[in-house]
Amino acid sequence: MVRFVLTRIATAIPTLFLVSIAVFALMRMIPGDPAALMLGDLAQPGQLEALRHEMGLDRPIALQYLYWLGDVLSGDFGQSISTRQPVLPLMLERFSVSATIVVVAVFFATLIAVPAGMFAAWRQNRAGDIAVIATSTLLLSIPSFWLGLMLLLIFGLQLGWLPVVGYVPFSRDFGSALLFIILPVVTLVLVESGSITRMARASTIEVARLEYITHARAKGLPESTVMWRHAFKNAFAPTMTLIGLVLGSLLANIAVIEMVFTIPGLGRLLVDGIYARDYPIVQGCMLFTAFLYVLVNLLVDLLYPLLDPRVTA
């Protein structure tokens, strides 16, 4: 098991290294001068040169990358051009908002989709299976921003049951915070349930054809016992991989939902940084979200052998 863990970690490190190179290169390809943005249009040439030297922009590109990578590894992601705040604390503050919504949404999506997929597999090619497949296909085809806008229109504007836009921290008012995250969470649950349901159904059907399941049925066990006690663990392992991908993807791509519901999360910070041409914010958010995606998938890889004994560590 130790060797398996070390191997997975060793494969994640080069991935992060290549991502850091890609992020750094992309930011250097964007037109504009960070020093000019910080000082404004009235800055003197001497001031610009001094700030460029202070920021290390007059060094060779390779040397700039090495200095930047060293700062990142020490926890220094730079300073925001627009707010003059350190980037890392700002990202962590916004990430807590995004993580709350994403984790709650993935939890409820899993709670709904996995039993639905297993039920569809149990009732394969019957009315229940067809209904589950049709519903999951419909959910897969709906864009998240459109669904979010429709939920806002119905439950926020027309019925007035829930707040339309905004966010309240849980530390300030727990009840109000719950009301504000209901619509974004429901949007994500509906959008992501489709793919998880289909994966749970496919993996359950595959496991149900294995020999030990046939043996359990031959012993006269009820079909529900065979499915939930014997098939669930092995069928859930591939589904967990998809859930990990969904979790990592949402953490990295939640900007659309945050813009629809005006939630001050990490994705909103990235979009605001792009509009403001705040290079340290954009660079930091891109690297941070890539790190989250790699980390989530690494954790899923490490948990896989515990769920599926067919995978040897």
Tell me whether residue 251 is in a domain: yes
Q: Report percent pLDDT > 70 for the chain.
A: 79
Q: Are residues 37 and 176 in the same domain?
A: no
Q: Are residues 152 and 278 in the same domain?
A: yes
Tell me whether residue 82 is in a domain: no
What is the pLDDT, as a whole number, of residue 63? 84
What is the pLDDT, as a whole number, of residue 279? 81
The answer to whether the beta carbons of residues 266 and 253 sit under 8 Å apart is: no
Q: Are residues 143 and 235 in the same domain?
A: yes
The residue from 74, 106, 125 where one domain ends is 74
Range of the domain at 47: 1-74
Q: Are residues 102 and 244 in the same domain?
A: yes
DSSP code of residue 262 = T
Q: Are residues 55 and 132 in the same domain?
A: no
Map residue 79 onto helix, strand or coil.
strand
Confidence bin at 75 (pLDDT 50/70/90): confident
pTM of the prediction?
0.79
Q: Report percent pLDDT > 90 for the chain.
A: 3
Which neighbouring-strand residues pair with 79? 86
C-alpha to C-alpha distance for 5 and 130, rounded to whole angstroms = 40
Q: Give how far the C-alpha of residue 225 lies from the chain's centroid of Cα atoms, to the nearest Å.
A: 34
Tell me whether residue 87 is in a domain: no
The answer to whether the beta carbons of residues 187 and 106 sit under 8 Å apart is: no
pLDDT digits (tens, 9 = 90+) for 220-266: 777 666 666 666 666 776 777 777 778 777 776 788 888 888 888 88
C-alpha to C-alpha distance for 280 and 178, rounded to whole angstroms = 32
Q: Are residues 184 and 301 in the same domain?
A: yes
Tell me whether residue 136 is in a domain: yes
Q: CATH number of the domain that 131 lies in?
A: 1.10.3720.10
Side chain identity, residue 123: R
pLDDT digits (tens, 9 = 90+) for 176-235: 888 888 899 999 999 888 888 888 888 888 776 766 667 666 767 776 666 666 666 667
The region of weakest confidence among 84-93, 136-145, 188-197, 297-306 is 297-306
Confidence bin at 108 (pLDDT 50/70/90): very high
Q: What value does the mean pLDDT take over residues 125-144?
A: 87
Which single residue is written with the structure tokens 């504000």?
180
Task: Count CB-CB contacts under 10 A for residue 288.
Answer: 24
Tell me whether residue 313 is in a domain: no
Total domains, the chain: 2
Q: Are residues 4 and 118 in the same domain?
A: no
DSSP code of residue 86 = B
Q: Are residues 45 and 170 in the same domain?
A: no
